Structure 1
């Protein structure tokens, strides 16, 4: 239920949807001769579109998340398990073509591959089922396994967790596959996603060594007009807003003990 509600909620409140709903609502109000209210809705839509598409707002709000955890300054001597969270591949083309098509978060798998080579004795847990409501694709764990084995990681090192659909399920289902004697557990996910991920794993009693990757900001950007790449600005703002809402929702529902977990 939480998974379905969260998907539907985000479908409605993401910036693109908000702009569309405000435009449709504004036009309807103008048509119904409530001109002032309708124009106000259209103006709000324009302001939102400007802020998320033509300013650095997304980078400003994503960088506190990305700066929360750092790549370890001193790497551990040994690692028992490397856990990588899904979100790095494109499900439909990967499934249909039998490949591992990476998206903008592909650094999650690149970092996992590097860690797997640095720690050849470590197990690699690939955590993600299907992210779509209808389950029409293969599990992302299977797609990620294809990527890693094609690049030389032995199949017997891989642990596929193929049922999780969100971060809470990533943690709870990963816990069932871990043994206490496994040693250091390294968690790989996007830097903006690391605070929420660490908080959820802690709630499940799993202490992880955070290894953030897939940075979207420079880390010290200020608010400014940015017209170089409106699509990228919109994507970054959308990701940042979703993550902040996710932090709030997970804390309110008891899935994390802290709103913004820290090292």
Structure 2
């Protein structure tokens, strides 16, 4: 039940979707006795699209998420396993074309491959199944493991967790599959902006992991005042950030995260 509800909430958590729905509602009202209210909705949607698209709001929302967990230095300590979350491949296109197709989160996989070679005794778990809701998208792990093998990771090191559809299932199914032992060191690889929510969920699931953030989208605080050259770029960045902030709130309220805004210090 949680999965379809989360997908529905996720749709409306994206400002771009919400503003288009607002504008369409305004257009419908133009043909009714509430024409004035409809006109206001249309104007408001256009103004807000411009504001969210060109202004640096998306960066301002994303920077605190990306800065929450600092990069982990290579201190030479042994690693028992690495969990890399899905989201770096486009499985439906990959399946249709017969090739590996990566998206802008590709560093999740390239960084995981580097870690696997650096720690040859560690298990590398790719966690991600078919995230499709109304229509199937294809299985992410099948594509991801193919790429990891091509990048030189031995097959004996690779483990597919191919059932999960969201971050909660990533944590629960990965823990069940790997059965981590007390004292073992496990690294969690995902995009920096997604790391706070992911860490909170893994902690709640009782799977202690260390954050290994990758796929950084901003330069840091210098981007707090940097506008976007196109509306599409700005809306995409704002959508990405808002999905995480809403996800943090919903996961905490539903008891699926250890804290509202998990950090390195615990919680």
The size of the alignment, in residue pairs, is 263
Contact 2:189/2:214 (CA < 8 Å) preserved in 1? yes
Q: Which runs of 5+ in 1 are unaligned?
A: none
Contact 2:66/2:192 (CA < 8 Å) preserved in 1? yes
Taking the TM superposition and a 5 Å limit, the aligned residue runs for 1:1-263 are: 1-134=1-134, 136-178=136-178, 179-180=180-181, 183-221=184-222, 223-224=224-225, 226-263=227-264
Match of 2:26, SS state, is helix
State the shift of 1:72 in Å: 1.3
Q: Distance in 2 between matches of 1:42 and 1:90?
A: 34
Regions of 4+ moved over 4 Å? 222-225
Q: Distance in 2 between matches of 1:153 and 1:223?
A: 38
Q: Does 188-197 or 42-51 show the bigger shift? A: 42-51
With over 3 angstroms needed to count, the CA separation of the structure-2 counterparts of 1:185 and 1:223, relative to structure 1, is closer
State the shift of 1:133 in Å: 1.6
Q: Distance in 2 between matches of 1:227 and 1:167?
A: 29
TM-score by length of 2: 0.93
Q: Distance in 1 between matches of 2:234 and 2:248?
A: 21
State the shift of 1:6 in Å: 1.3
**Aligned alpha-carbon RMSD (Å):** 1.7
| Deviation by residue 1:52-104 (Cα, 9 ceiling, x = unmatched) | 21111101001100000011135342111010000001121112223221100
